[in-house]
Amino acid sequence: MNRRFFVWAAIVGLFLDQVTKIAVYGMFRGGAFADTRTVRLLGNVLKLAFEQNRQGVFGLHYGPQFLYFVLPLSASALVIWYGFRVKDAWSAAAFGMILSGALGNVIDRARLGYVIDFIVFELRRLGFQWYTFNLADAFVVVGVIMLLGKEFLWRNKPAPAATGAVSAPTEAESGHE
């Protein structure tokens, strides 16, 4: 049963990631937004933009180009291993989301030579702007948060240790004679 949550979360996440990237690519590369750099969705807080990310997560450089495939595919193998072994639906869905994110970005690199990033989140008044990201990145982060939340917030508390059988007090012990 939990394998279904894992597989469906991975399939739905990968589908949503790829569809949004194809849509954004089309809109900014000859479509409705071809002449603009960004599109505001929620004032200056949330915007759409088209960026070609040739680097790794958070702009990191991994070294040779093949590592941009080897690292996420190795991580994906590990996620699949865990995803099929977890006992609860919550963790299975979390691992499925993480897998969809890792594979979504690998598909971009294999198909285009870069990852399509398009979500811009910033809080100008605080001088904060996050890296431009995509749904694959969001799925990885949400999946990890789900696993951490389950581990640290919703962990089953151990049952109190049994102290032995409790018997009713005798007449002498209760003070009634």
Angle at 10 between CA 26 and CA 47, to 5 degrees: 40
Is the CB of residue 40 less than 8 Å from the CB of residue 59? no
Counts for the chain of helices (H) and strands (E), in that order: 5, 4
Is the CB of residue 98 less than 8 Å from the CB of residue 144? yes
Is the CB of residue 117 less than 8 Å from the CB of residue 53? yes
Phi, psi of 52 (to 5 degrees): -100, 110
Q: How far apart are CA 93 and CA 83, in angstroms?
A: 8
Catalytic site residues?
117, 137
